[in-house]
């Protein structure tokens, strides 16, 4: 998978050392996860009627995130959506398909992340 874009929680500053520009996610930013909708696996503006994920969360998972190219260029309905590289929950419980790292580790990698950076899950 390759990195397509990055985002950050609205109130946070992009670290100076980040290798990619991070879009400022606000309360009206979401990601469509409804396989039958034309905006499936795309950024959407809220309010949005179809099923979606909100990019502003009550926890720290999306403080910094990167959109991975899983099922984006050639979308297949139901093949997975909103696959991001983001901050992990404490204790590393499984994600719903994303790649999650400790916040400290993600911040360490950020200078090396650019559009097109390959992410391999081993």
For residue 106, the model assigns a pLDDT of 96
Domain-embedded: residue 97: yes
For 92, left (φ over 0), alpha (ψ -120 to 50), or beta?
left
Domain-embedded: residue 118: no
For residue 15, the model assigns a pLDDT of 79
**Measured distance CA(75)–CA(65) in Å, rounded:** 21
**Measured distance CA(102)–CA(93) in Å, rounded:** 12
Domain-embedded: residue 22: yes
Number of folded domains that form the chain: 1
Q: Which residue in the list 37, 43, 98, 112 is annotated as catalytic?
A: 98
The mean pLDDT of 51-67, rounded to a whole number, is 96
- Please say if 18 is a catalytic residue: no
Domain-embedded: residue 57: yes
**Structure confidence by residue, pLDDT tens digits, 12-56:** 877 778 899 999 999 999 999 999 999 999 999 999 999 999 999
Q: Which residue in the list 18, 32, 52, 86 is annotated as catalytic?
A: 86
Domain-embedded: residue 81: yes
Domain-embedded: residue 86: yes
CA 58 to chain CA centroid, Å, is 15
Domain-embedded: residue 40: yes
Parent domain of 105 = 3-112
For residue 67, the model assigns a pLDDT of 98
């Amino acid at each position: 998978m390759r990195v397509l874009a990055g985002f950050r929680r609205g109130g946070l500053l992009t670290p100076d050392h980040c290798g990619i520009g991070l879009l400022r996610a606000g309360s009206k930013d979401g990601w469509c996860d409804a396989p039958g909708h034309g905006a499936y696996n795309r950024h959407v503006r809220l309010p949005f009627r179809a099923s979606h994920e909100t990019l502003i969360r009550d926890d720290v998972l999306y403080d910094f995130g990167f959109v991975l190219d899983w099922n984006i260029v050639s979308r297949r309905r139901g093949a997975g959506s909103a696959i991001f590289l983001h901050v992990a929950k404490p204790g590393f419980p499984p994600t719903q398909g994303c790649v999650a790292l400790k916040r400290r580790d993600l911040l360490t990698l950020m200078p090396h992340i650019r559009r097109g950076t390959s992410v391999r899950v081993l």
